[in-house]
Chains A and B, each alone.
Chain A
């Protein structure tokens, strides 16, 4: 049962992991993007559509990533250039993405695609316990294993990482490097949207091979919550995403074994776990939060 739950955690958590990592990059640069849900759902639709038409999930992935990026670009323009309120704008973008994808996805609902299939990695998948859990997934899941350390390395070990974090903490750092904070923020938000789009693509073309309107079901919003839970740290974000996915899997595993608890409680489990985790770590986090975000949360408004 442990293997089942942990495997299930990765299966259900990967799409959220991409979106969470993307949001983390964006917030590190000082822009919170509740429109992640909109990027994710648009990415899911575009990836499914392009896969259906081209027959290749890789082309689908590219379209999904671009769709996520374009949606986030609207957010970037409104909050960076037009100085609109980040939270209100994000919500608007979320509904925009949900509506847009539902509209353009109308004819896709009954399509069948050849999406990403699960591939057992030779040798690695044979390792007892761990092999089953980690190495029996689709290729986008494997890429997500590499993404998280890559993002960590970028943020904390490269010059560009310092500049990006500078955009969220202290603009003087960015100026010191001779860069424009505005440009850096634009790039960070777009990277976030792109990854949310990839998360959506994973959901539609690898995880479910399905498109139906609103299929992200709030996973993009969960991603924003998980970034706070993760104290803006990539590996913790990974943990958070798997915790969320694991709650899904645990709920199913308990049901299947006839454990006598209310399934309404079980349905809430992923959300309750996320909330509880946020309460526990909330105090510490005020110190971890990029300074630029404090303005957004505590008054400044933009």
Chain B
């Protein structure tokens, strides 16, 4: 029996951790021949690494579309892409390979690519790195992300308007701040049109497990939810399953309106193209250091980094108009979705009346707002 248990434990561990390989395969340390060029200056190749596949109607598709925009903006530039790069030392290997091939601008696009990228960045001071979603930076590595919660708020306005029951659902991965922020924004948006609206949260414990996603949609449907949003890496299953149950859905990361034109409401999506082009330009012109991209960059609706996806066929015109008005108000800064008072689930005032939280404060959120049904483990 022992052997079987051992083998199964090994199997489980290997499966879960996919490849928790030993630390960086000590690549030839930097030969930085003299302090020369600025990071990325004059690069003729740009490298992108993705944690998943390019057409997942989700996180990776959004990033991939950004790489296509760079390709179109620089016809002479060679674009190196690598998909399904795990968040391990393997990512270091892939980035080293790209650098050997002449890339001096690298986009590691998954959160877990940060540590490998930091290691590679240290060895190659002449290469500029733009990491997606990180909270750390280095001399030649900047991170970027977007205030997608602004678009989540707007999709909440739309969802709250088209919901008949006022019971909304949200399929999410883990209780991390990014997720909580989106759920809260979505709920506040829905409550702006229907004060009694609630959002029931289903945690899947995974970024992309279609089985768990389908089960979550079924479960939410049983609980009387009639519009479902999501915070998952791959978004197709939730949208299609909801469609088969005749439940409306809200997308995330990328426009998936074609999957279910009748039940699709809208979605909070990324528009990385313009930002990627601008970051690439900055780097190859030698202006990385001192630019807004050499630290921690955050863009929102007004910068065009996040957007609202096209509306579905069944969304009434007055709802579209309302959402567009709210969008204009957020872009101009005259309205902030998280302007106090904001109460948590148990009624505690988390943001005082008259206070507008900073982005840093928002990204440290550790509570659900009033009207969210679901639990955060403490």
Contact assessment for A218 and B12 in the assembled complex, using a CB-CB cutoff below 8 Å: yes
- B378 CB to closest chain A CB (Å) equals 8
- B198 CB to closest chain A CB (Å) equals 10
Contact assessment for B240 and A112 in the assembled complex, using a CB-CB cutoff below 8 Å: yes
Q: Is the interface of B mostly helix, strand, loop or mixed?
A: helix
- A253 CB to closest chain B CB (Å) equals 6
- B262 CB to closest chain A CB (Å) equals 14
Scan residues 23-60 of chain B and give those whose CB is less than 8 A from a CB of chain A. 53, 55-57
Say whether, besides A91-B10, A249-B219, A256-B220, A296 and B211 are in contact (CB < 8 Å). Answer: no
Across-interface contacts of A8 in B (CB, < 8 A) = 215, 218-219, 222
Contact assessment for B57 and A110 in the assembled complex, using a CB-CB cutoff below 8 Å: yes
Q: Which residue of B lies closest to A289 (CB)?
A: B1
Report the bound CA distance from A217 to B210 in whole Å.
Answer: 9
- A115 CB to closest chain B CB (Å) equals 10
Across-interface contacts of A296 in B (CB, < 8 A) = 3-4
Per-residue A-contact encoding for B208-233, CB less than 8 Å = 1, 0 else: 11111111101110110000000000
- B267 CB to closest chain A CB (Å) equals 16
Contact assessment for A224 and B240 in the assembled complex, using a CB-CB cutoff below 8 Å: no
Across-interface contacts of B10 in A (CB, < 8 A) = 91
The verdict on A264 contacting chain B, using a C-beta distance below 8 Å, is yes
The verdict on A81 contacting chain B, using a C-beta distance below 8 Å, is no
Across-interface contacts of A230 in B (CB, < 8 A) = none
The verdict on A11 contacting chain B, using a C-beta distance below 8 Å, is yes
The verdict on A267 contacting chain B, using a C-beta distance below 8 Å, is yes
Say whether, besides A218-B12, A218-B16, A267-B203, A258 and B373 are in contact (CB < 8 Å). Answer: yes
Contact assessment for A264 and B244 in the assembled complex, using a CB-CB cutoff below 8 Å: no
Contact assessment for A217 and B8 in the assembled complex, using a CB-CB cutoff below 8 Å: no
- A58 CB to closest chain B CB (Å) equals 19
Across-interface contacts of A228 in B (CB, < 8 A) = 4
Of the candidates B84, B205, B219, which one forms a contact with A102 in the assembled complex, judged by CB atoms under 8 Å apart? B84
Contact assessment for A217 and B209 in the assembled complex, using a CB-CB cutoff below 8 Å: yes
Report the bound CA distance from A110 to B55 in whole Å.
Answer: 6
Scan residues 266-297 of chain B and give those whose CB is less than 8 A from a CB of chain A. none
Contact assessment for B1 and A286 in the assembled complex, using a CB-CB cutoff below 8 Å: yes
The verdict on B375 contacting chain A, using a C-beta distance below 8 Å, is yes
Across-interface contacts of A90 in B (CB, < 8 A) = 7
The verdict on B184 contacting chain A, using a C-beta distance below 8 Å, is no
Contact assessment for B208 and A87 in the assembled complex, using a CB-CB cutoff below 8 Å: no
- Number of contacting residues on A, CB 8 A? 59
- B216 CB to closest chain A CB (Å) equals 6
Contact assessment for A34 and B7 in the assembled complex, using a CB-CB cutoff below 8 Å: yes
Contact assessment for B3 and A253 in the assembled complex, using a CB-CB cutoff below 8 Å: no
Across-interface contacts of A236 in B (CB, < 8 A) = none
The verdict on A208 contacting chain B, using a C-beta distance below 8 Å, is yes
Residue with the highest number of chain B CB atoms closer than 10 Å, among A12, A252, A296: A252
Per-residue B-contact encoding for A70-112, CB less than 8 Å = 1, 0 else: 0000000000000000011011001100000010001001101
Contact assessment for A215 and B210 in the assembled complex, using a CB-CB cutoff below 8 Å: yes
Q: Which residue of B lies closest to A95 (CB)?
A: B14
- B203 CB to closest chain A CB (Å) equals 5
Say whether, besides A210-B240, A255-B374, A248 and B212 are in contact (CB < 8 Å). Answer: yes
Contact assessment for B241 and A209 in the assembled complex, using a CB-CB cutoff below 8 Å: yes
Of the candidates B210, B216, B244, B375, which one forms a contact with A212 in the assembled complex, judged by CB atoms under 8 Å apart? B210
Instruction: List the count of A-B residue pairs having beta carbons below 8 Å apart.
Output: 150
The verdict on B118 contacting chain A, using a C-beta distance below 8 Å, is no
Of the candidates B11, B205, B219, which one forms a contact with A91 in the assembled complex, judged by CB atoms under 8 Å apart? B11
Per-residue B-contact encoding for A260-302, CB less than 8 Å = 1, 0 else: 1111111100000000000000100010000000001110000
Contact assessment for B218 and A11 in the assembled complex, using a CB-CB cutoff below 8 Å: yes
Across-interface contacts of A264 in B (CB, < 8 A) = 205, 377
The verdict on A169 contacting chain B, using a C-beta distance below 8 Å, is no
Contact assessment for B211 and A215 in the assembled complex, using a CB-CB cutoff below 8 Å: yes
Scan residues 180-206 of chain A and give those whose CB is less than 8 A from a CB of chain B. 203
Report the bound CA distance from A100 to B218 in whole Å.
Answer: 31
Report the bound CA distance from A282 to B216 in whole Å.
Answer: 32
The verdict on B110 contacting chain A, using a C-beta distance below 8 Å, is no
Report the bound CA distance from A249 to B218 in whole Å.
Answer: 9
Contact assessment for A87 and B3 in the assembled complex, using a CB-CB cutoff below 8 Å: yes
The verdict on B2 contacting chain A, using a C-beta distance below 8 Å, is yes
Q: Which residue of A lies closest to B6 (CB)?
A: A87
Residue with the highest number of chain B CB atoms closer than 10 Å, among A37, A117, A212, A259: A212
Residue with the highest number of chain A CB atoms closer than 10 Å, among B2, B259, B374: B374
17 more A-B contacts (CB under 8 A) besides A11-B214, A252-B219? A37-B15, A102-B84, A106-B53, A109-B53, A109-B56, A109-B234, A212-B234, A215-B209, A217-B15, A249-B215, A255-B375, A257-B223, A261-B375, A264-B205, A267-B205, A296-B4, A298-B2
Interfacial residues, chain B to chain A (CB-CB below 8 A): 1-4, 7-8, 10-12, 14-16, 53, 55-57, 84, 175, 200-203, 205-206, 208-216, 218-220, 222-223, 234, 236-237, 240-241, 244, 259, 373-375, 377
| 27 A-B pairs whose Cβ atoms sit less than 8 Å apart in the complex | A4-B219, A4-B223, A7-B222, A8-B219, A8-B222, A34-B8, A94-B11, A203-B210, A203-B211, A207-B214, A210-B234, A212-B53, A212-B234, A215-B209, A217-B15, A217-B206, A218-B12, A218-B15, A225-B8, A249-B215, A252-B216, A256-B202, A256-B219, A256-B220, A262-B377, A265-B377, A266-B203
